[in-house]
Structure 1
Amino acid sequence: MFNFFTPVEANSILPEVKVKFADILMQRNNIMDLQTELESVASQEVSHESFFIKKVQVNKAITEMYKDIEELEGLGILIKSFDEGLLDFPSKRFNEEVWLCWKMGEDKIKFWHGKNEGFVGRKPLSIEGTYDSDVLEDLR
C-alpha cells in the first residue's frame, strides 16, 4: 500500500517498524550463517541428503525474510540499506515528493532528503521553512 507520511505519522508507527526491521536484520544474519554452513557441507564428503536438508533450511529462511520485507514495505516504507540500517518513508514537503529518513539507533525520525539526494543529503526537520509547520508541532 502506498502512502505519504507526515513526520508525526511516521514517528507514530516507528516503534513497530523498528521491531520488524530488527527482526529482518536478524533473519538476514541467520541466512548468512546458514549459507556458510551450506558451503561447508557442499565442500565436504557428505550425502546429497545432508546437502539438501541444509539447502531447504536456507530456502525457508530466505522465504520468511522476504515475507517480512514485503510486510514492512507493504506499509509504504522503503528499506534503503540493510548494512547501514536505513529506512525511508515517502513524504511531501511543500508539494515536493521527498523521503523522511531514519537510521537504526535514532529514537525518532528527525531528517528528510530529496528523492535523489540519499543519506548524505539529510536535512533536519526542525529547521524553519524546511517542512510545513503543522506537521512539525508534535516533533518538538
Structure 2
Amino acid sequence: METRYFSVEEANELLADIEPLMERLLERRTKVVESRQQIYQLLAAGNSDFGGPAASELAQDFMVIERLARKIRSHGCIIKDLNNGLVDFLSKRDGREIYLCWRYGEPRVEFFHELHMGFKGRQHI
C-alpha cells in the first residue's frame, strides 16, 4: 500500500467526515466504561449469565466502536488515543515525516509533532 501524506488543508477537509464518527465513537466508549461497573458486579456475584442482555449489549457496543474506528482509519489517518479522541495524519515538513495532530473538540488541525514525540510534543503549525 502506498503511503499517504496529508497537507494541512486535506486533513482539515477530512474533519467534516471524521469528527462526527469520533463523536459517536467516544459516546459509545463512555457507555462501555460506565457499564464496566455492572460487569464487575456480575463477576463478583459469581453470575455466569454472560449470554444475558448486559453482555449482549456490551458486545454490540464493542462492535460499533470497532466499526467506527475502521471508518475513521479508512480515511488514511491514525487513531492515537480513544480517551482523548486523538487523530494523527502523516505529513511532511521540511523533507521529514511528521504527524499533523487533531484532538476531538478542536475546530481544525493546528498542531503537528515529530513521529517519536506524541501529543506532549505538539507544536503550532
TM above 0.5: yes
Larger Rg: 1
Q: CA deviation at 1:45?
A: 6.9
Q: Match for residue 7 of structure 1?
A: 8
CA deviations over 1:55-112 (Å, ceiling 9, x no partner): 2221121112111111111211111112233211111113311100112222111111
Unmatched tracts of structure 1, length 5 or more: 126-140
The letter for the 1-side match of 2:24 is: D
Percent of aligned pairs with the same amino acid: 25
Q: Match for residue 120 of structure 2?
A: 120
Q: Secondary structure at the match of 1:33?
A: helix
Contact 1:99–1:113 (CA under 8 A) maintained in structure 2: yes
- Alpha-carbon distance in 2 for matches of 1:123, 1:91: 14
The 1:43–1:106 alpha-carbon spacing in structure 2 relative to 1, beyond 3 Å, is same
Q: CA deviation at 1:32?
A: 1.6
- Alpha-carbon distance in 1 for matches of 2:89, 2:45: 46
The letter for the 2-side match of 1:56 is: S
Alignment of 1:1-140 (within 5 A): 3-44=4-45, 48-49=48-49, 51-53=50-52, 54-125=54-125
How many residue pairs match? The answer is 123
